[in-house]
Amino acid sequence: MSMKPRGAIIAIAVWTLFQLVRLMAFSITQDVSAGIDSPAWMFPALMDVFIGITAPFIAYMILRKTGLAVWTIAIVWFALSISDHLDAIITTLTVPIAHSMQSMGSSMFLVTLIINTVLDLVAIKLLAGKKMRSYYLSSR
């Protein structure tokens, strides 16, 4: 039986829970529906809401469960998050920034998206590391 890589698990779970902030993108879906924001923002906003809603469940699984399904779901969840960040980056570069993000400005929003993408990549790298694979995939 492998030892629990406690620090990495906690770091990934905390980063996962931080994704609750993405629920704020619900306002973008409302602004797109009202014709305030470009329709190009609908998919990134819906993905943000999905990531935000599922974050507590993913964090719980990362902290309390093991197995192939947990490990795979966590990696796929972070990959979806990265895909959403990349979509938001492209959208920011091609249409006016969403109304609710205007106070942040396009440049700062892009920097935030890039940092979030890097942190998601770090989470995947940690999950794919030998100790984490061993912990999640070993038979208990």
pLDDT digits (tens, 9 = 90+) for 50-60: 999 999 999 99
Helix (H, G, I), strand (E, B) or coil at 67: coil
CA 56 to chain centre: 12
Check residue 30 and give its pLDDT: 98
Dihedral sign for Cα 63, 68, 71, 73, please: negative
* 1 assigned to some structural domain: no
**Which domain range does residue 28 map to?**
6-137
- How far, in Å, CA of 78 to CA of 25, rounded? 18
* 29 assigned to some structural domain: yes
- How far, in Å, CA of 136 to CA of 132, rounded? 6
Structurally, the chain folds into a number of domains equal to: 1
With contact defined as beta carbons under 8 Å apart, do 99 and 36 qualify? yes
Length of the chain: 140
Check residue 3 and give its pLDDT: 73
Residue that the structure tokens 């995947």 belong to: 124
Q: Report pLDDT digits (tens) over 4-48.
A: 899 999 999 999 999 999 999 999 999 999 999 999 999 999 999
With contact defined as beta carbons under 8 Å apart, do 62 and 8 qualify? no
pTM exceeds 0.85 for this model? yes
Confidence of residue 116 (pLDDT cuts 50, 70, 90): very high
With contact defined as beta carbons under 8 Å apart, do 52 and 25 qualify? yes
